[in-house]
Amino acid sequence: MAKILLKNGRILGAEGDELLTRDILIHENQIEQIGENIVDSEAAIIDLAGKFVSPGFVDLHVHLREPGYTHKETIETGANAAVRGGFTTIACMPNTRPVIDTIEVVAEILSKAKAAGKARVLPLGAITTRQLGTEHTDFEALKEAGIFALSDDGVGVQSSQMMREAMRKAKKLGLPIVAHCEDDTLVKGGVVHEGTFAAKHGLTGMPSLSESIHIGRDILLAEDTGVHYHVCHISAKESVRLVREAKSRGQQVTAEVTPHHLLLCEEDIPDVDANWKMNPPLRAKEDRAALIAALLDGTIDFIATDHAPHTEEEKAAGIELAPFGIVGLETAFPLLYTNLVKTGQFTLRQLVELMSTKPAKRFNLPYGELAVGKVADITVIDLEQEQAIDPKSFLSKGKNTPFVGWKTQGWPTLTIVDGKVVWKA
Ligand SMILES: NC(=O)N[C@@H](CC(=O)O)C(=O)O
Ligand SMILES: [Zn+2]
Ligand SMILES: [Zn+2]
Protein backbone atom coordinates (compact mmCIF):
# COMPACT_ATOMS: atom_id res chain seq x y z
CA MET A 1 0.00 0.00 0.00
CA ALA A 2 2.47 2.55 -1.09
CA LYS A 3 1.32 6.05 -0.27
CA ILE A 4 3.08 9.33 -0.95
CA LEU A 5 1.92 12.66 0.43
CA LEU A 6 3.20 15.69 -1.47
CA LYS A 7 2.97 18.62 0.94
CA ASN A 8 2.79 22.31 0.08
CA GLY A 9 2.95 22.17 -3.67
CA ARG A 10 1.31 24.86 -5.76
CA ILE A 11 -1.17 23.86 -8.45
CA LEU A 12 -3.22 25.69 -11.06
CA GLY A 13 -6.80 26.33 -9.93
CA ALA A 14 -9.92 26.02 -12.08
CA GLU A 15 -8.97 29.00 -14.22
CA GLY A 16 -6.33 31.66 -14.70
CA ASP A 17 -2.70 31.39 -13.72
CA GLU A 18 -3.10 31.90 -9.99
CA LEU A 19 -1.45 29.08 -8.02
CA LEU A 20 -3.09 27.45 -5.00
CA THR A 21 -1.15 25.75 -2.23
CA ARG A 22 -2.37 22.17 -1.96
CA ASP A 23 -1.32 18.75 -0.67
CA ILE A 24 -1.62 15.73 -2.95
CA LEU A 25 -2.06 12.21 -1.64
CA ILE A 26 -0.97 9.41 -3.94
CA HIS A 27 -2.12 5.87 -3.26
CA GLU A 28 -0.47 3.19 -5.36
CA ASN A 29 -0.64 4.58 -8.89
CA GLN A 30 -3.53 7.00 -8.38
CA ILE A 31 -4.14 10.48 -7.08
CA GLU A 32 -6.40 9.82 -4.10
CA GLN A 33 -6.88 13.28 -2.67
CA ILE A 34 -6.01 16.91 -3.40
CA GLY A 35 -6.67 19.38 -0.60
CA GLU A 36 -5.41 21.58 2.18
CA ASN A 37 -3.56 20.15 5.17
CA ILE A 38 -4.01 16.49 4.31
CA VAL A 39 -2.84 14.17 7.09
CA ASP A 40 -2.06 10.52 6.48
CA SER A 41 -0.03 8.53 8.97
CA GLU A 42 0.89 5.78 6.49
CA ALA A 43 2.18 8.02 3.71
CA ALA A 44 5.78 8.90 2.99
CA ILE A 45 5.88 12.70 3.08
CA ILE A 46 7.67 14.87 0.53
CA ASP A 47 7.64 18.60 1.25
CA LEU A 48 7.50 20.55 -2.02
CA ALA A 49 7.97 23.92 -0.29
CA GLY A 50 5.85 25.92 -2.71
CA LYS A 51 7.14 24.45 -5.95
CA PHE A 52 4.83 24.19 -8.95
CA VAL A 53 3.08 20.85 -9.45
CA SER A 54 2.00 19.93 -12.97
CA PRO A 55 0.46 16.88 -14.55
CA GLY A 56 3.41 14.96 -16.04
CA PHE A 57 4.39 16.06 -19.53
CA VAL A 58 3.54 13.91 -22.53
CA ASP A 59 5.88 13.92 -25.52
CA LEU A 60 4.45 12.09 -28.50
CA HIS A 61 7.53 12.46 -30.70
CA VAL A 62 10.82 11.03 -29.40
CA HIS A 63 13.66 9.04 -30.97
CA LEU A 64 15.03 6.49 -28.51
CA ARG A 65 17.38 4.89 -31.08
CA GLU A 66 17.18 1.38 -29.65
CA PRO A 67 17.42 -1.18 -31.18
CA GLY A 68 20.34 -0.47 -33.46
CA TYR A 69 21.70 2.96 -32.69
CA THR A 70 22.55 2.61 -29.03
CA HIS A 71 25.66 4.78 -29.49
CA LYS A 72 23.22 7.70 -29.93
CA GLU A 73 20.73 6.78 -27.16
CA THR A 74 19.19 3.75 -25.47
CA ILE A 75 15.70 3.23 -24.17
CA GLU A 76 17.16 3.61 -20.70
CA THR A 77 19.11 6.82 -21.31
CA GLY A 78 16.22 8.30 -23.29
CA ALA A 79 13.70 7.42 -20.58
CA ASN A 80 16.02 8.94 -17.99
CA ALA A 81 16.34 12.12 -20.03
CA ALA A 82 12.55 12.20 -20.32
CA VAL A 83 11.87 12.12 -16.59
CA ARG A 84 14.59 14.66 -15.92
CA GLY A 85 12.76 16.93 -18.36
CA GLY A 86 9.45 16.29 -16.58
CA PHE A 87 8.04 13.92 -19.22
CA THR A 88 6.15 10.98 -17.78
CA THR A 89 4.95 9.50 -21.09
CA ILE A 90 6.87 9.46 -24.36
CA ALA A 91 6.05 7.93 -27.73
CA CYS A 92 9.03 6.57 -29.64
CA MET A 93 9.47 6.68 -33.39
CA PRO A 94 10.11 3.59 -35.51
CA ASN A 95 13.30 4.64 -37.36
CA THR A 96 15.46 2.25 -35.39
CA ARG A 97 17.49 -0.71 -36.76
CA PRO A 98 15.65 -2.96 -37.21
CA VAL A 99 12.73 -0.62 -37.80
CA ILE A 100 9.72 -1.06 -35.50
CA ASP A 101 7.94 -3.08 -38.17
CA THR A 102 7.46 -6.43 -36.42
CA ILE A 103 5.86 -7.55 -33.19
CA GLU A 104 9.28 -8.71 -31.95
CA VAL A 105 10.70 -5.21 -32.03
CA VAL A 106 7.60 -3.81 -30.30
CA ALA A 107 7.94 -6.45 -27.56
CA GLU A 108 11.65 -5.69 -27.13
CA ILE A 109 11.01 -1.97 -26.70
CA LEU A 110 8.17 -2.49 -24.25
CA SER A 111 10.22 -4.88 -22.16
CA LYS A 112 13.30 -2.62 -22.09
CA ALA A 113 11.15 0.37 -21.19
CA LYS A 114 9.61 -1.59 -18.36
CA ALA A 115 13.04 -2.66 -17.13
CA ALA A 116 14.23 0.96 -17.21
CA GLY A 117 11.22 1.86 -15.06
CA LYS A 118 11.31 5.58 -15.82
CA ALA A 119 8.98 7.26 -18.34
CA ARG A 120 6.12 5.29 -19.82
CA VAL A 121 7.10 4.43 -23.41
CA LEU A 122 4.57 4.08 -26.25
CA PRO A 123 6.11 2.68 -29.43
CA LEU A 124 4.88 3.73 -32.86
CA GLY A 125 4.84 1.06 -35.54
CA ALA A 126 6.15 1.71 -39.04
CA ILE A 127 3.61 2.25 -41.83
CA THR A 128 5.85 0.44 -44.33
CA THR A 129 8.30 -2.42 -43.94
CA ARG A 130 11.80 -1.09 -43.25
CA GLN A 131 10.23 2.33 -43.90
CA LEU A 132 10.91 1.77 -47.57
CA GLY A 133 7.48 2.96 -48.64
CA THR A 134 6.68 -0.06 -50.78
CA GLU A 135 4.87 -2.58 -48.58
CA HIS A 136 2.61 -2.12 -45.57
CA THR A 137 3.52 -3.64 -42.23
CA ASP A 138 0.99 -5.89 -40.49
CA PHE A 139 -1.02 -3.16 -38.75
CA GLU A 140 -3.26 -5.62 -36.96
CA ALA A 141 -0.40 -7.63 -35.48
CA LEU A 142 1.46 -4.47 -34.50
CA LYS A 143 -1.65 -3.14 -32.80
CA GLU A 144 -2.02 -6.39 -30.92
CA ALA A 145 1.64 -6.12 -29.85
CA GLY A 146 0.93 -2.72 -28.34
CA ILE A 147 1.79 0.07 -30.77
CA PHE A 148 0.25 3.41 -30.09
CA ALA A 149 -0.01 4.73 -33.65
CA LEU A 150 1.52 4.31 -37.10
CA SER A 151 4.31 6.44 -38.55
CA ASP A 152 7.22 6.29 -40.99
CA ASP A 153 8.86 9.23 -39.18
CA GLY A 154 12.28 10.02 -40.56
CA VAL A 155 10.91 9.78 -44.10
CA GLY A 156 7.71 10.76 -45.85
CA VAL A 157 5.44 8.15 -47.43
CA GLN A 158 6.14 9.05 -51.04
CA SER A 159 3.38 7.08 -52.74
CA SER A 160 -0.11 8.56 -52.47
CA GLN A 161 -1.56 5.13 -53.09
CA MET A 162 0.45 3.60 -50.21
CA MET A 163 -0.71 6.40 -47.93
CA ARG A 164 -4.33 6.04 -49.00
CA GLU A 165 -4.36 2.30 -48.35
CA ALA A 166 -2.55 2.79 -45.03
CA MET A 167 -5.21 5.26 -43.92
CA ARG A 168 -8.02 2.90 -44.89
CA LYS A 169 -6.51 0.02 -42.91
CA ALA A 170 -5.58 2.24 -39.97
CA LYS A 171 -9.12 3.65 -39.80
CA LYS A 172 -10.55 0.13 -39.53
CA LEU A 173 -8.25 -0.65 -36.62
CA GLY A 174 -8.69 2.71 -34.90
CA LEU A 175 -4.99 3.56 -35.26
CA PRO A 176 -3.90 7.16 -35.94
CA ILE A 177 -1.59 7.95 -38.87
CA VAL A 178 1.26 10.15 -37.63
CA ALA A 179 2.94 11.69 -40.65
CA HIS A 180 6.42 12.96 -41.35
CA CYS A 181 5.52 15.18 -44.29
CA GLU A 182 8.24 15.45 -46.88
CA ASP A 183 8.20 15.08 -50.65
CA ASP A 184 11.62 13.75 -51.62
CA THR A 185 11.41 15.07 -55.17
CA LEU A 186 11.22 18.63 -53.82
CA VAL A 187 13.92 18.32 -51.15
CA LYS A 188 16.74 16.97 -53.33
CA GLY A 189 19.57 16.85 -50.84
CA GLY A 190 18.78 20.12 -49.06
CA VAL A 191 20.28 20.69 -45.63
CA VAL A 192 18.64 23.90 -44.38
CA HIS A 193 15.49 25.85 -45.26
CA GLU A 194 15.40 27.21 -48.80
CA GLY A 195 15.75 30.82 -47.69
CA THR A 196 18.21 33.50 -46.62
CA PHE A 197 20.70 31.30 -44.74
CA ALA A 198 20.95 28.79 -47.59
CA ALA A 199 21.49 31.59 -50.08
CA LYS A 200 24.13 33.32 -47.96
CA HIS A 201 26.16 30.16 -47.44
CA GLY A 202 25.62 28.55 -50.83
CA LEU A 203 23.79 25.57 -49.33
CA THR A 204 21.05 23.51 -50.96
CA GLY A 205 17.68 24.49 -49.53
CA MET A 206 14.66 22.45 -48.47
CA PRO A 207 11.56 24.36 -49.57
CA SER A 208 8.52 24.70 -47.31
CA LEU A 209 6.55 23.20 -50.17
CA SER A 210 8.20 19.83 -49.64
CA GLU A 211 6.31 19.68 -46.33
CA SER A 212 3.08 21.43 -47.26
CA ILE A 213 2.44 19.40 -50.39
CA HIS A 214 2.29 16.19 -48.34
CA ILE A 215 0.00 17.80 -45.79
CA GLY A 216 -2.37 18.95 -48.52
CA ARG A 217 -2.33 15.52 -50.14
CA ASP A 218 -2.81 13.70 -46.87
CA ILE A 219 -5.65 15.92 -45.70
CA LEU A 220 -7.52 15.02 -48.89
CA LEU A 221 -6.76 11.33 -48.45
CA ALA A 222 -7.73 11.41 -44.78
CA GLU A 223 -10.97 13.25 -45.49
CA ASP A 224 -11.95 10.36 -47.68
CA THR A 225 -11.10 7.68 -45.10
CA GLY A 226 -12.03 9.44 -41.83
CA VAL A 227 -8.79 8.36 -40.16
CA HIS A 228 -7.22 10.42 -37.37
CA TYR A 229 -4.41 12.11 -39.28
CA HIS A 230 -1.64 13.78 -37.28
CA VAL A 231 1.06 16.06 -38.68
CA CYS A 232 4.52 15.72 -37.13
CA HIS A 233 6.77 18.73 -36.46
CA ILE A 234 4.83 21.28 -38.52
CA SER A 235 7.15 24.07 -39.60
CA ALA A 236 5.81 26.18 -42.47
CA LYS A 237 3.10 28.83 -42.70
CA GLU A 238 1.52 27.16 -45.75
CA SER A 239 1.20 23.94 -43.75
CA VAL A 240 -0.55 25.82 -40.96
CA ARG A 241 -3.00 27.23 -43.49
CA LEU A 242 -3.89 23.76 -44.73
CA VAL A 243 -4.43 22.33 -41.24
CA ARG A 244 -6.53 25.34 -40.28
CA GLU A 245 -8.76 24.86 -43.31
CA ALA A 246 -9.19 21.14 -42.62
CA LYS A 247 -10.13 21.82 -39.00
CA SER A 248 -12.62 24.47 -40.04
CA ARG A 249 -14.47 21.69 -41.91
CA GLY A 250 -14.46 19.51 -38.80
CA GLN A 251 -11.93 16.98 -40.08
CA GLN A 252 -10.01 14.97 -37.48
CA VAL A 253 -6.61 16.46 -38.22
CA THR A 254 -4.14 17.27 -35.46
CA ALA A 255 -0.67 18.79 -35.51
CA GLU A 256 2.34 19.17 -33.26
CA VAL A 257 5.13 21.74 -33.22
CA THR A 258 8.58 21.51 -31.66
CA PRO A 259 10.11 23.95 -29.15
CA HIS A 260 12.88 24.80 -31.63
CA HIS A 261 10.48 25.79 -34.41
CA LEU A 262 8.63 28.00 -31.91
CA LEU A 263 11.77 29.69 -30.62
CA LEU A 264 14.15 29.87 -33.57
CA CYS A 265 14.19 30.77 -37.25
CA GLU A 266 16.83 30.68 -40.00
CA GLU A 267 18.05 34.16 -39.08
CA ASP A 268 19.14 32.88 -35.68
CA ILE A 269 21.56 30.32 -37.11
CA PRO A 270 24.91 31.82 -36.12
CA ASP A 271 27.16 29.86 -38.41
CA VAL A 272 27.41 26.75 -40.52
CA ASP A 273 27.01 24.46 -37.51
CA ALA A 274 25.35 21.03 -37.58
CA ASN A 275 23.77 21.53 -34.16
CA TRP A 276 21.36 23.81 -36.01
CA LYS A 277 20.55 21.15 -38.57
CA MET A 278 17.25 19.39 -38.18
CA ASN A 279 14.38 18.15 -40.29
CA PRO A 280 12.21 20.06 -40.94
CA PRO A 281 14.70 22.93 -40.88
CA LEU A 282 14.36 26.23 -39.03
CA ARG A 283 12.34 28.31 -41.44
CA ALA A 284 11.72 32.02 -42.00
CA LYS A 285 10.66 34.56 -39.40
CA GLU A 286 7.10 34.60 -40.80
CA ASP A 287 6.87 30.84 -40.43
CA ARG A 288 7.83 31.02 -36.78
CA ALA A 289 5.23 33.76 -36.23
CA ALA A 290 2.59 31.63 -37.99
CA LEU A 291 3.39 28.64 -35.75
CA ILE A 292 2.99 30.71 -32.59
CA ALA A 293 -0.31 32.16 -33.83
CA ALA A 294 -1.52 28.67 -34.78
CA LEU A 295 -0.65 27.29 -31.37
CA LEU A 296 -2.58 30.13 -29.74
CA ASP A 297 -5.69 29.67 -31.90
CA GLY A 298 -5.73 25.87 -31.60
CA THR A 299 -4.79 25.07 -35.21
CA ILE A 300 -1.71 23.36 -33.80
CA ASP A 301 -2.80 21.04 -31.01
CA PHE A 302 0.28 20.54 -28.87
CA ILE A 303 4.04 20.59 -28.46
CA ALA A 304 6.33 17.60 -29.06
CA THR A 305 10.12 17.73 -28.86
CA ASP A 306 11.22 15.47 -31.74
CA HIS A 307 14.12 14.56 -29.43
CA ALA A 308 16.68 13.30 -31.98
CA PRO A 309 20.01 12.41 -30.36
CA HIS A 310 23.17 12.00 -32.46
CA THR A 311 26.79 11.70 -31.35
CA GLU A 312 29.27 14.56 -31.32
CA GLU A 313 31.36 12.78 -33.97
CA GLU A 314 28.35 12.50 -36.28
CA LYS A 315 27.50 16.17 -35.82
CA ALA A 316 31.14 17.15 -36.36
CA ALA A 317 30.94 15.92 -39.96
CA GLY A 318 29.80 19.40 -41.03
CA ILE A 319 26.40 20.79 -41.93
CA GLU A 320 26.17 19.00 -45.28
CA LEU A 321 27.07 15.52 -44.06
CA ALA A 322 25.88 15.46 -40.45
CA PRO A 323 22.55 13.79 -39.65
CA PHE A 324 19.43 15.90 -39.06
CA GLY A 325 18.11 16.34 -35.54
CA ILE A 326 18.58 17.89 -32.11
CA VAL A 327 17.79 16.71 -28.58
CA GLY A 328 14.87 18.23 -26.72
CA LEU A 329 13.63 16.28 -23.71
CA GLU A 330 15.74 17.98 -21.05
CA THR A 331 15.33 21.55 -22.22
CA ALA A 332 11.75 21.82 -23.50
CA PHE A 333 9.97 23.11 -20.42
CA PRO A 334 12.59 25.62 -19.20
CA LEU A 335 13.04 26.98 -22.73
CA LEU A 336 9.33 27.41 -23.35
CA TYR A 337 8.53 28.68 -19.87
CA THR A 338 11.28 31.29 -20.07
CA ASN A 339 10.74 32.39 -23.64
CA LEU A 340 6.97 32.07 -24.08
CA VAL A 341 5.44 32.31 -20.59
CA LYS A 342 7.79 34.74 -18.82
CA THR A 343 7.53 36.99 -21.88
CA GLY A 344 3.73 37.04 -21.65
CA GLN A 345 2.94 35.33 -24.97
CA PHE A 346 1.44 32.22 -23.33
CA THR A 347 0.07 31.60 -19.86
CA LEU A 348 1.52 28.89 -17.64
CA ARG A 349 -1.81 27.08 -17.96
CA GLN A 350 -1.57 27.10 -21.74
CA LEU A 351 1.95 25.71 -21.66
CA VAL A 352 0.94 22.90 -19.30
CA GLU A 353 -2.00 22.07 -21.54
CA LEU A 354 0.18 22.07 -24.64
CA MET A 355 2.79 19.81 -23.08
CA SER A 356 0.53 17.49 -21.12
CA THR A 357 -3.26 17.70 -21.25
CA LYS A 358 -3.71 18.19 -24.99
CA PRO A 359 -1.34 15.55 -26.38
CA ALA A 360 -2.99 13.05 -24.04
CA LYS A 361 -6.51 14.14 -24.92
CA ARG A 362 -6.03 14.22 -28.68
CA PHE A 363 -4.79 10.62 -28.63
CA ASN A 364 -7.24 9.40 -25.95
CA LEU A 365 -4.53 8.65 -23.42
CA PRO A 366 -5.58 8.55 -19.75
CA TYR A 367 -2.87 11.01 -18.66
CA GLY A 368 -2.29 14.75 -18.56
CA GLU A 369 -4.61 15.67 -15.71
CA LEU A 370 -3.90 16.44 -12.09
CA ALA A 371 -7.16 15.29 -10.53
CA VAL A 372 -8.53 12.80 -8.02
CA GLY A 373 -8.87 9.33 -9.50
CA LYS A 374 -6.32 9.99 -12.27
CA VAL A 375 -3.02 8.20 -12.78
CA ALA A 376 -0.33 9.71 -10.54
CA ASP A 377 1.97 11.05 -13.28
CA ILE A 378 3.30 14.24 -11.74
CA THR A 379 6.05 16.74 -12.44
CA VAL A 380 7.30 19.21 -9.83
CA ILE A 381 9.03 22.35 -11.11
CA ASP A 382 11.06 25.09 -9.53
CA LEU A 383 9.80 28.08 -11.52
CA GLU A 384 12.38 30.40 -9.96
CA GLN A 385 15.51 28.35 -10.45
CA GLU A 386 17.65 29.80 -13.22
CA GLN A 387 20.26 27.74 -14.97
CA ALA A 388 22.19 27.98 -18.21
CA ILE A 389 21.64 25.07 -20.60
CA ASP A 390 24.66 22.80 -20.38
CA PRO A 391 24.70 19.64 -22.51
CA LYS A 392 27.26 18.11 -20.14
CA SER A 393 24.48 17.86 -17.56
CA PHE A 394 22.16 15.90 -19.89
CA LEU A 395 21.20 12.34 -19.00
CA SER A 396 20.61 11.79 -22.73
CA LYS A 397 23.60 10.49 -24.67
CA GLY A 398 22.82 13.21 -27.20
CA LYS A 399 24.43 16.58 -26.50
CA ASN A 400 23.35 18.05 -29.84
CA THR A 401 21.45 21.24 -29.06
CA PRO A 402 21.61 24.76 -30.47
CA PHE A 403 20.51 26.15 -27.08
CA VAL A 404 23.87 25.86 -25.29
CA GLY A 405 24.29 28.60 -22.70
CA TRP A 406 20.68 29.86 -22.85
CA LYS A 407 19.73 31.10 -19.39
CA THR A 408 16.41 29.55 -18.52
CA GLN A 409 14.06 29.29 -15.57
CA GLY A 410 11.65 26.51 -14.62
CA TRP A 411 13.61 23.34 -14.00
CA PRO A 412 11.89 20.10 -13.00
CA THR A 413 12.97 18.88 -9.56
CA LEU A 414 10.87 15.75 -9.05
CA THR A 415 9.06 13.38 -11.39
CA ILE A 416 6.53 10.74 -10.46
CA VAL A 417 5.32 8.07 -12.91
CA ASP A 418 2.50 5.72 -12.03
CA GLY A 419 2.78 6.73 -8.36
CA LYS A 420 6.53 6.12 -8.11
CA VAL A 421 9.28 8.71 -7.74
CA VAL A 422 11.44 8.08 -10.81
CA TRP A 423 13.61 11.17 -10.73
CA LYS A 424 14.74 13.74 -8.21
CA ALA A 425 17.12 16.69 -8.77
N1 LIG B 1 13.96 15.45 -36.90
C2 LIG B 1 15.18 15.15 -37.30
O3 LIG B 1 15.89 16.04 -37.72
N4 LIG B 1 15.64 13.88 -37.27
C5 LIG B 1 14.95 12.71 -36.88
C6 LIG B 1 14.03 12.22 -37.95
C7 LIG B 1 12.72 12.93 -38.06
O8 LIG B 1 12.11 13.34 -37.06
O9 LIG B 1 12.21 13.07 -39.17
C10 LIG B 1 15.97 11.64 -36.51
O11 LIG B 1 15.60 10.47 -36.41
O12 LIG B 1 17.12 11.99 -36.28
ZN1 LIG C 1 10.17 13.51 -38.91
ZN1 LIG D 1 11.21 12.64 -35.51
pLDDT at 72 over 60: yes
Rounded CA separation 395/327 (Å): 11
Instruction: Check pocket membership of 306 for ligand 1, CB cut-off 6 A.
Output: yes
Instruction: Check pocket membership of 322 for ligand 1, CB cut-off 6 A.
Output: no
pLDDT for 301-313, tens place per residue? 999 999 999 999 9
Probe residue for ligand 1, chosen from 193, 283, 306 as the CB with the greatest number of ligand atoms within 8 Å: 306
Can you give the pLDDT at residue 224? 87
Catalytic, out of 101, 152, 218, 306: 306
Closest atom of ligand 1 to 277 CA is: 3
What string of H, E and C letters represents the secondary structure of the chain? CCEEEEEEEEEECCCCCCEEEEEEEEECCEEEEEECCCCCCCCEEEECCCCEEEECEEEEEECCCCCCCCCCCCHHHHHHHHHHCCEEEEEECCCCCCCCCCHHHHHHHHHHHHHHCCCEEEEEECCEHHHCCCCECCHHHHHHHCCCEEECCCCCCCCHHHHHHHHHHHHHHCCCEEECCCCHHHHCCCCEECCHHHHHHCCCEECCHHHHHHHHHHHHHHHHHCCCEEECCCCCHHHHHHHHHHHHCCCCEEEEECHHHHHCCHHHCCCCCHHHCCCCCCCCHHHHHHHHHHHHCCCCCEECCCECCCCHHHHCCCCCCCCCCCCCCCCHHHHHHHHHHCCCCCCHHHHHHHHHHHHHHHCCCCCCCCCCCCECCEEEEEEEEEEECCHHHCCCCCCCCCCCCCEEEEEEEEEEECCEEEEEC
Tell me the average pLDDT across 118-124. Answer: 98
pLDDT at 1 over 60: no
71 is known to lie in a ligand binding site: no
Probe residue for ligand 1, chosen from 279, 283, 314 as the CB with the greatest number of ligand atoms within 8 Å: 279
275 is known to lie in a ligand binding site: no
Tell me the average pLDDT across 104-119. Answer: 98
Instruction: Check pocket membership of 95 for ligand 1, CB cut-off 6 A.
Output: yes
Whole-number mean pLDDT of the chain?
A: 98
Instruction: Check pocket membership of 156 for ligand 1, CB cut-off 6 A.
Output: no
Q: Please say whether the beta carbons of 243 and 299 come within 8 A.
A: yes
306 catalytic per annotation: yes
Closest atom of ligand 1 to 95 CA is: 11
325 is known to lie in a ligand binding site: yes
Can you give the pLDDT at residue 188? 87
261 is known to lie in a ligand binding site: no
Rounded CA separation 174/162 (Å): 18
Q: Which ligand minimizes its atom distance to the CA of 310?
A: 1
Establish whether domains 3-52+375-424 and 56-362 are of one fold: no
Sorting pLDDT into bands at 50, 70 and 90, what band is 39?
very high
Domain 56-362 class, CATH top level: alpha beta
Can you give the pLDDT at residue 64? 98
Report the separation in Å between the CA atom of 357 and the middle of ligand 2, taken as the mean of its atom positions.
23
State whether the Cα torsion 74-80-81-83 is positive or negative.
positive
Q: What are phi and psi of 418, to 5 degrees?
A: 55, 35
pLDDT for 201-216, tens place per residue? 999 999 999 999 999 9
Q: What are phi and psi of 286, to 5 degrees?
A: -65, -30
Tell me the average pLDDT across 356-381. Answer: 98
| Percent of the chain topping pLDDT 90 | 98
Instruction: Check pocket membership of 278 for ligand 1, CB cut-off 6 A.
Output: yes
Instruction: Check pocket membership of 89 for ligand 1, CB cut-off 6 A.
Output: no
Give CA separation, 196 vs 193, 201, 264, in Å.
Answer: 8, 9, 14
214 is known to lie in a ligand binding site: no
Burial (Cβ within 10 Å: 0-12, 13-18, ≥19) of residue 342? middle
Model ipTM value? 0.99
Instruction: Check pocket membership of 324 for ligand 1, CB cut-off 6 A.
Output: yes
Report the separation in Å between the CA atom of 24 and the middle of ligand 1, taken as the mean of its atom positions.
38
pLDDT at 47 over 60: yes
Report the separation in Å between the CA atom of 113 and the middle of ligand 3, taken as the mean of its atom positions.
19
Report the separation in Å between the CA atom of 30 and the middle of ligand 2, taken as the mean of its atom positions.
34
Rounded CA separation 25/248 (Å): 42
The residue extents of the domains of the chain are 3-52+375-424, 56-362
Q: Please say whether the beta carbons of 19 and 42 come within 8 A.
A: no
Rounded CA separation 130/240 (Å): 30
Report the separation in Å between the CA atom of 353 and the middle of ligand 2, taken as the mean of its atom positions.
23
User: Does CATH place domain 3-52+375-424 in 2.30.40.10?
Assistant: yes
pLDDT for 251-301, tens place per residue? 999 999 999 999 999 999 999 999 999 999 999 999 999 999 999 999 999
Residue among 297, 372, 356, 400 nearest 85 (CA): 356
pLDDT for 238-251, tens place per residue? 999 999 999 999 99
pTM over 0.90? The answer is yes
Rounded CA separation 18/33 (Å): 20
